[in-house]
Amino acid sequence: MSLSRLITGFVRTHWRAYAGAGVMLVLVAVIGVWIPRKIGQMVDALAAQRLSHTELIEGVGLLLLVGVANYGLRVAWRIRLYSTAYRLGVELRTRFYRRLTLQGPAFYQKQRTGDLMALATNDIDSIEQAAGEAMLAGFDGALTLVLVIGIMTLGVDWRLALVALLPFPLMAYAFWRISTQIHTAAGDSLKRFAALNDHVQETLTGVRTLRTLGLEARSAATFSELAGKASNAALTAQRWEAAYEPAVGLTLTAATGLTLGVGGYLVWTDQLTIGGLTSFSMYLGQLIWPMFAAGWVLSLLERGRAAWQRLQPMLDAPLTIADHGTMAELQPGELAVDHLTVCYPGQVEPALADVTLRLRPGQTLGLVGATGSGKTTLLRVLLRQLAPQSGTVRWNGHALEEYKLGTLRGAISWVPQESFLFSASIAENIALAKPGATRAEVEHAADLAAIHDDILLFPHRYETEVGERGITLSGGQRQRVAIARALLSDNDLLLLDDALSAVDTGTETRILDHLEDLRRARPVRSAIIASHRLSAVVNADWIVVLHHGRVVEQGTHDELLAHDGWYARQWRYQQLEASLDAS
């Protein structure tokens, strides 16, 4: 869809607002062409000594009154039109945000956060201006142009009007050349701004790493380079926009010269009155606005087109995970994974290969294996963040694809490897999974996650602000706050993706004991614990060992120790390591 179709559709939807602004613009334009006509008539009456003192005062008073009305109408239509145009920005941002929330991880692996932020701000602003200021200036300029030329031709002298319009085709050609350059320059400016935005976002996110590695000077140099390129690109666009004014100035100067020459001759030969020439000169001055409006409209439209060409692919990008499910309710049941195979784009070896496992309601499944063995990939398939190449995953007898995404993910509590906290208080971060939770429920969840005592040591306790991404908390504290958030939701399936890696063994034991108590209190709640630390899965009902995406061992803790495979060797190694640390 082109920008013109987007704006046309928006105007059709909000036609009443645009029609109201249009009526006021018509009145403004009529007043604009009436005033010079009235002044010309008064000049002729004064020259002929046919205008009395009283009539002069009344005429001047009427002009002042009409001028005030004209001012009020101009303010009114601006408010009417801009308030409507801003809705387009709101609609586009809402549509863009919703699209982003539906996209899966594969989409974000190809996109830069700074670029997406630039699209949501700078680019949509340009589109909004095309629907507001461009529509406003275009309609007003075109209407004024038609009325002024009409009154110049029909109300003053058609010969003089024809002569005055002779330079205008040259200006139209100049506008066409300039607008083409502005489109290119505006697109480059938006891209440069997005690159600068992306660098700033990455720098602020990783500022501690930059300081640790002593890369502040290099980062500042990169920022300076990107800022310079963005500035130069914006300056190039502004230079081309500035070229409109000379084109208008040269055209009107030529038109004025021709008007004075031919008009003076017509007055000299009594074919035109002085008042008529005065009116015509004022009308010619009124053509300044339509000419500038044409340049301004072309500039805004080209900027809007460049922005829309960047935004539209994001709005139309297919969802990485399709949501075609129809089931809006999920009952607890067996989770069955059959011959699951997953391969990431660009990879030859599959991340998961022919994986089959079962998890009955109320059971705990342990997933262990070396780094890169496929534990996180399996959890992402269960969350439908990844689509498998083959195999099926069924929950309570139904394929995951049969459930609505919101229903499926609403039944799962997930604690990822890197816990994410929002810039809010600890209580608000825990209650995120259950917004209506009471303070007692929040504190109970924190106690289950073994973080309650730590929170009480903070000056503001549960009202302590955690900062962006939870920067004020330690890694272990962030993990436990995220676990508390997951436990508060009380969903049917709990997924812990190495979520105990940053806590000590004593705290780990407390959390696992609390999870066991929860399982006894709610027998249908299942859990999958993926961990590199085997002590986290000792009490699991079933343990699966993954190696290069394949199930190489499975069984209970005692059965795997008796098998004397990878699990047994790793268990002995970790036990020895723990004893050495204790000593």
Yes or no: say if 119 and 314 are a contact pair by the CB < 8 Å rule.
Answer: yes
Spell 394-412 as b/e; 16+ CB within 10 A means b.
ebbeeebbbbbbeebbbbb
**Contact by Cβ (8 Å): 535, 508:** yes
CA–CA distance, 123 with 49 (Å, rounded to integer): 60
In order along its 583 residues, the chain shows pLDDT tens digits of 677 787 777 777 777 777 777 777 777 777 776 776 677 667 667 666 776 677 677 777 777 887 787 777 777 777 777 777 778 888 888 888 888 887 877 777 777 777 788 888 878 888 888 877 777 777 777 777 777 777 667 666 667 667 777 777 777 777 777 777 777 777 777 777 777 777 777 776 666 677 666 767 777 787 787 777 777 777 777 777 677 667 766 777 777 777 667 667 666 777 766 666 666 666 666 676 677 777 777 778 877 888 888 888 888 888 777 778 888 888 888 889 899 998 887 788 888 888 899 988 888 899 998 888 888 889 988 888 888 888 898 988 888 888 888 888 888 888 888 778 888 888 888 888 787 888 888 888 888 888 888 888 888 888 888 877 667 777 778 888 888 888 888 788 888 888 877 777 778 788 888 877 777 766 667 889 888 888 888 888 889 999 888 989 898 888 888 888 888 888 888 888 767 665 5
Helix (H) or strand (E) holding 505: helix 505-521
Q: Give the pLDDT score at 525.
A: 77
Instruction: Specify the DSSP class assigned to residue 435.
Output: T
pLDDT of residue 535: 84
Torsion of CA 358, 360, 361, 364, to 10 degrees: -70
Q: Using H for helix, E for strand and C for coil, what is the string for 454-491?
A: HHHCCCCHHHCECCHHHCCCCHHHHHHHHHHHHHHHCC
Cα separation of 467 and 458, whole Å?
A: 14
Kindly state the helix (H) or strand (E) to which residue 6 belongs, with its residue range. Answer: helix 3-13
Place of tokens 């095309």: 130
Contact indicator for 535, 554 with CB cutoff of 8 Å: no
Q: What is the pLDDT of residue 5?
A: 80
Residue with tokens 């300076």: 224
Sketch out the chain's domains with CATH numbers. Answer: 3-316 (1.20.1560.10), 415-490 (3.40.50.300)
Residue 386 is predicted with a pLDDT of: 84
- Taking the C-alpha atoms of residue 415 and residue 485, their distance in angstroms, rounded to an integer, is 9
The amino acid occupying position 413 is S
Whether the CB-CB separation of 119 and 310 falls below 8 Å is answered with yes
The burial class, CB within 10 Å (0-12 / 13-18 / 19+), for 163 is middle
List the structure tokens of 346.
């660009």
**Which residues 6+ apart lie within 8 Å of 460 measured at CB?**
425
Find where tokens 């790793």 sit: 570
Structure tokens at 415: 């604690």
Count of CA atoms in the C-beta half-sphere (13 A) of 197: 18
DSSP letters, 36-53, are: HHHHHHHHHHHHTT---H
CA 258, chain centre distance (Å): 52
